[in-house]
Amino acid sequence: MLIKVPKGWEIPEREAAPESCWHNRRELLRAAGFAGIGGLGAPAWMRAATESKSLYPAKRNPEYTLDRPVTEEWAATGYNNYYEFHPTSKEAPRTRVGKFKTSPWKIDVRGHVAKSFSIDLEELLRKVTLEERLYRFRCVEAWSMAVPWTGFPLAEFIKLCDPKPSAKFLRFETVNRPDEMPGMREANWYPWPYFEALRMDEAMNPLTLLVTGIYGKPLPVQNGAPIRIITPWKYGYKSPKSIAKVEFTEKQPETFWHKLQPLEYGLYSNVNPQKPHPRWSQAYEKVIPTMERRPTLMYNGYEQFVAGLYKGDPDR
């Protein structure tokens, strides 16, 4: 079959490549039958791939509904912000993920917890139940999508961590692997690795997910494999990808974009049509891939879930 790789996400739907063309080589190998021999006796990495596959698709949670169609898969997995893979292009990240290893994967838990520990993702996934949720997704750059994420509430992970009462914030850190993430060296002026943070009550909110899948399958690397955060009422940069470390802190942590542009990107960064970015309006958003304009919703449409967190002060 001729593998036609679309130039960008702007191609019309009738020309969109079939889903398989968008998969990276590793996923093609998996699809080509490695899963079939990944039973007992197979190497650990093969078993891991098989096990994680059996978790998808997860049951959809009907509580989270959309007011718009779900974004086509080729667009959501082909138009990405992932600066560690490419610091400017949205189309390049998925073409540069070949070296990135997502298994085995461990998460280090540090800071104000009863006891620091590290947990293997495979082990973590045995302790939780994955579900699928449809969420609106809004980047601070004003584009938006609607995405079926698979994951579990971050609150469940926090309970496993046994935080001390002194833990007031969570700080997340993306994995630090310049050899596997070519954008890190090309854009070496950034304060890598990427780091983000949530206040404890935001992190505990039922909307906040630890995400391991998308479109009923494990996350592709460009969307943050093997595990990322999703906070749908905040701008996209609050949703760090490929998380390797979670730290519970007493003081408010610094965040990647706030450190770079303190006047433009705060800790809270709640979607708010009335609060323009210093360089552009946030009143409207452009829906990927058509770029159709639609009005931005307060808290990205999640006011009923999160307004109580801010007590009338969404600009925090």
Ligand X SMILES: Nc1nc2c(c(=O)[nH]1)N[C@H]1C(S)=C(S)[C@@H](COP(=O)(O)O)O[C@H]1N2
Figure out which of the listed residues 71, 223, 269, 296 binds ligand X, where binding follows CB under 6 A: 223
Among 249, 102, 125, 231, smallest CA distance to 177 is for 102
Q: Does 147 bind Mo ion (CB under 5 A)?
A: no
Figure out which of the listed residues 237, 248, 268, 302 binds Mo ion, where binding follows CB under 5 A: 237
The answer to whether the beta carbons of residues 315 and 272 sit under 8 Å apart is yes
Supply φ then ψ for residue 286, to 5 degrees: -110, 120
Question: What residues are paired with 108 via a beta bridge?
Answer: 118, 245
Among 149, 82, 85, 160, smallest CA distance to 120 is for 160
When CB distances are held under 5 to 8 angstroms depending on the partner's kind, the choice from Mo ion, ligand X, none that residue 271 binds is none
When CB distances are held under 5 to 8 angstroms depending on the partner's kind, the choice from ligand X, Mo ion, none that residue 194 binds is ligand X
Spatial separation of the C-alpha atoms in residues 285 and 278, rounded to whole Å: 16
Token readout for 187 is 């854009």
| Widest CA span in the chain | 58
Figure out which of the listed residues 151, 226, 236, 289 binds ligand X, where binding follows CB under 6 A: 236
* Residues 118, 122, 123, 125, Cα dihedral to 10°: 110
Task: Please say which residue, 35 or 147, places its beta carbon nearer to ligand X.
Answer: 147
Q: Does 232 bind ligand X (CB under 6 A)?
A: no
Query: Binding residues for ligand X, how many (CB under 6 A)?
Result: 15
Q: Does 270 bind ligand X (CB under 6 A)?
A: no
Task: Please say which residue, 83 or 152, places its beta carbon nearer to ligand X.
Answer: 83
CA distances from 90 to 5, 51, 301 (A): 14, 31, 25
Residues 14-53 that bind ligand X (CB under 6 A): none
Among 21, 7, 27, 85, smallest CA distance to 213 is for 27
Figure out which of the listed residues 205, 212, 239, 272 binds ligand X, where binding follows CB under 6 A: 239
Q: Does 212 bind ligand X (CB under 6 A)?
A: no
The window from 24-32, 59-67, 234-242, 262-270 that contacts ligand X (CB under 6 A) reads: 234-242
Figure out which of the listed residues 148, 236, 301, 314 binds Mo ion, where binding follows CB under 5 A: 236
When CB distances are held under 5 to 8 angstroms depending on the partner's kind, the choice from Mo ion, ligand X, none that residue 240 binds is ligand X
Q: Does 211 bind ligand X (CB under 6 A)?
A: no
Residues 101-130 that bind ligand X (CB under 6 A): none
Phi-psi region of 164 (alpha: psi -120 to 50; beta: other; left: phi over 0): beta
Among 209, 202, 198, 94, smallest CA distance to 148 is for 209
Token readout for 83 is 């600066």
Residue type, 200: M
Q: Does 81 bind Mo ion (CB under 5 A)?
A: yes
The window from 15-23, 80-88, 99-107, 123-131 that contacts ligand X (CB under 6 A) reads: 80-88
Q: Does 82 bind ligand X (CB under 6 A)?
A: yes
Spatial separation of the C-alpha atoms in residues 83 and 93, rounded to whole Å: 8
The answer to whether the beta carbons of residues 21 and 5 sit under 8 Å apart is yes
Task: Please say which residue, 143 or 152, places its beta carbon nearer to Mo ion.
Answer: 143
Task: Please say which residue, 139 or 243, places its beta carbon nearer to Mo ion.
Answer: 139
At closest approach, how far in Å is the CB of 281 from ligand X? 18
- Interface ranges with ligand X (CB under 6 A): 80-84, 139, 174, 194, 223-224, 236-237, 239-241
